[in-house]
Structure 1
Amino acid sequence: MKLDSPVLGVGPLAADRLEQANINPTTGLATDYLNHFNEVMMLLEMLPAMPECAEDVLDWHPIDYEDHFETSGFSDKKLAVDAYHAAPVRLRTHLEAYVAEINAVVLLAQEQIRATEDLASSAIMIADTATSQIKPLISKASGVIHGHLGADALQSEGEEAQAEIDAMFA
């Protein structure tokens, strides 16, 4: 680690400063990022009653954590990005894995919307399928941001650690 690398809880990333900016001082992550996914989930939920929301769903695109903050109206965007870089790697890795899953679900829903000839009759199925998958993933991502890894993440870490140990003795 470089000596000039920001460290959570120290200097510009002091806990009180992070809390004031609505960034978790322990993880260095901000729930504001999840707004990007909550927005498309709400649009998908509205799709059956308002098929015209399809255009907004199709306009949605994946965006990574840093780009979200750099292009958002978040008041402490530089602090959010710096804290993200100082966040524990395992938390960032788990967050990015959940984000990749959410992105895949939304991209599949977009493909289904584009492929359907009768959106009115398909909207309920597309919306229900997508949102039933997205909601738990957003919840898991929120857990990571708050420093809580779910059982599936902990199991995955255990399997990775065991694989590393096995490789050393092979």
Structure 2
Amino acid sequence: MSSAAAKISPLDEAVSGDQAANGRAVPRPSAEELLTANINPRTGLATDYLNHFNEAIMLLEMIPDLPDCAEDFLSWQPLSYAEHFRAANFKARELAISTYETADPAIRGEFDNITRTMTSILTAVGDAMRQMQQDKSRAQLAEQATGWVKPLVTLAGGIINGSGHEADVDGIMTA
């Protein structure tokens, strides 16, 4: 077992600062509960949120072959992590939201920065597509946008799964 895997995250310990309405400490969910809910116990994040961005990517990928899909992409709306889970048919939505809110601020900050970047790109692409009249121009923009957002989804997935930038640096150094 690597030293990184052996580290205990704040989500693995009991909460000392979180208080219930009655003033008592609220215990954190167990790693087993989080895993069952598809939430990473080390980071407190769920990959299900990335489905929101993957939906936009899928629509962008369809535009070159099916130009009418541009209208479907233009109806895509950005959602925050909590908004996504509140709207999704995700059994453990409240658990996903609460573990996100109590996740390590550095991890959550890095994750939020990447998801804000993806949202900004997708929003700007939508604004630009609304100004375009030619299907060919929309198709070119869709292909470019896919190339910009897909690597960010992969990076966000790495953060969710606990690898973040360290894995990227290790991979580059060994290549």
TM-score with structure 1 setting the length: 0.81
Matched, 1:4 2:19: yes
Matching residue of 1:158: none
Matching residue of 2:75: 59
Q: Secondary structure at the match of 2:68?
A: helix
Matching residue of 1:165: none
Matched, 1:150 2:165: yes
1:127 to 142, 148, 152: 142
Matching residue of 1:115: 131
Matching residue of 1:46: 62
Per-residue CA deviation, residues 110-138 of structure 1 (Å, 9 max, x unaligned), is: 122111111x2113311111000000100
Matched, 1:81 2:97: yes
Per-residue CA deviation, residues 118-167 of structure 1 (Å, 9 max, x unaligned), is: 1x21133111110000001001111110112216x99xxxxxxxxxxxxx
List runs of 5+ in structure 1 lacking aligned partners.
Answer: 155-170
Displacement of 1:4:
2.2
Matching residue of 2:34: 18
Runs of 4+ in 1 over 4 A off after TM superposition: none
C-alpha distance in 1 between matches for 2:33 and 2:127: 42
Q: How many residues align?
A: 149
User: Equivalent pairs: percent with the same residue?
Assistant: 38
Matching residue of 2:109: 93
Displacement of 1:3:
4.3
Displacement of 1:71:
1.2
Are the structure 2 counterparts of residues 82 and 3 from structure 1 closer, same or farther at C-alpha, using a change threshold of 3 Å?
closer
Amino acid at match of 1:30: A
**Any conservation in 1 of the 2:132–2:138 contact (CA below 8 Å)?**
no
Q: Secondary structure at the match of 1:57?
A: helix
C-alpha distance in 2 between matches for 1:117 and 1:127: 14
List runs of 5+ in structure 2 lacking aligned partners.
Answer: 1-15, 21-25, 170-175
Amino acid at match of 1:124: A
Displacement of 1:12:
4.8
Of Structure 1 and Structure 2, the greater helix share is in 1
C-alpha distance in 2 between matches for 1:3 and 1:27: 17
Matched, 1:138 2:153: yes
Per-residue CA deviation, residues 43-75 of structure 1 (Å, 9 max, x unaligned), is: 000001111111111111111101111111001
Root-mean-square deviation (CA, aligned residues, Å) is 2.1
C-alpha distance in 2 between matches for 1:29 and 1:52: 34
